[in-house]
Amino acid sequence: MITLKRRVLLGALVCTTFAAFPAYAADPIKIGVTGPYTGGSSAMGVSMRDAARLAAAEINKAGGVLGRPLLLVERDDEAKNEVGAQVAQELINKEKVAATIGFINTGVALAAQRFYQEAEIPVFNNVATGTIITNQFKEPDYDANYVFRNSAYDVLQAGMMVDEALARNFKKIALLADSTNYGQLGREDIEKYLATKGVKPVVVEKFNIKDVDMTAQLLKAQQAGADVILAYGIGPELAQIANGMAKLGWKVPMITSWPSSMQSFLDIAGANGNGVMMPQTFIEDQTLPKRKSFLENYYKTYGVSKIPTPVAGAQGYDSVYLLAAAIKQAGSTDGAKIRAALENLNERVEGVVTTYEKPFTAKDHNAITRNMVVFGKVQDGKIVYAKEEDAKNAGVVRVKEKSAN
């Protein structure tokens, strides 16, 4: 990883380049970028932000949008709901952003995005996955919804996790989830989906952020005869579950929500994380030219050999391109016009997660459908394809299913 000093200097250089691009006479289009750049969720936030910078720089080099450069206005929400709400108001009222991308944490999104809804400014969730996020302002209570997303929402992930466990003939499911909005909403989605299959978990346990000892929860699961663990949380705590199982000498499969792909999971769990599976929209392979270019550019620009949280980086990168396409189609930075363009994008947008064709409609503001998501697994400190067929089809572009929720 590059040093903090170098990262700060690089960030300042990149943002200055956006603002002072010499080929432009017109004022820049301000795009907010909000996420946790410090603290326990920072690997996700930094990956998203740094990839968004790359996308904006590429767009500006190619002529910008409507003849204007994109200027990313970055704010650290510290993964705190109250800070996220404050940042939203600052970006809207002081910075006058045309739109904002980001939101890593579900709780922060729910606390902050209402300000964008009230201001009729599009806000683009590119990492947060709480199912409610894009349903918070739907008809008939609201005439228009200004909240969009290009991450795999929780109902989708919950279904994949449960179906995988049942397909492997596991009968006794232990469900562990962190105590945040993210963890508890994910737990609810898993329990609801299990109920549709006529299955009830043998134990449901909660843990807190920064917990390092999961012995009590794991002993309850073990005593209940669990033959698989489904876990909903973020990297550090998911790693402690894997470490706790190793400490107990208890070996059962572990299927988690996507954040076990975070670098913090890999670092904390070490060899104990091997075999853990999770849904992923993006794995660091270079099978497609766009992915190859993106990864090479990211590694070179930031002096790293891998993205700290690849999913966050890829989705952050794609969200800038989707938003730029909408502004171009709208021919304006007016919020209502951008929203309308997003709901009926005419341009095929080539991203690194997929190529987006009509990713949104007026009633569906989620760009990702289940067919776009694969299972990754931890293998010796890296995330690889968990299934051979997905690895073989890594170069296949998966477009949105028409029957999306």
pLDDT in tens, 303-325: 999 999 999 999 999 999 999 99
Q: Measured between alpha carbons, how far is 103 from 123 in angstroms, rounded to an integer? A: 9
pLDDT for position 8: 44
This prediction's pTM: 0.90
Mean pLDDT, rounded, of the chain = 92
pLDDT for position 376: 96
pLDDT tens sequence across 118-144: 999 999 999 999 999 999 998 889 999
The H or E element containing residue 178 is: strand 173-178
Does pLDDT of 5 surpass 50? Answer: no
- DSSP for 207-273, written as a single string: E-TT----HHHHHHHHHTT-SEEEEES-HHHHHHHHHHHHHHT----EEE-GGGGSHHHHHHHGGGG
**Mean pLDDT, residues 392-404 taken together:** 75
Instruction: Provide the percentage of residues in the chain whose pLDDT is more than 90.
Output: 87
253 vs 26 pLDDT, higher one: 253
pLDDT tens sequence across 9-66: 445 444 434 444 545 568 999 999 999 999 888 999 999 999 999 999 999 999 999 9
pLDDT tens sequence across 358-392: 999 999 999 999 999 999 999 999 999 999 988 88
pLDDT for position 17: 42
Q: Which residues contact 112 (CB under 8 A, 6 or more apart)?
A: 34, 77, 81, 84, 85, 87, 88, 103, 123
pLDDT band, residue 398 (cuts 50/70/90) = confident
149 vs 139 pLDDT, higher one: 149
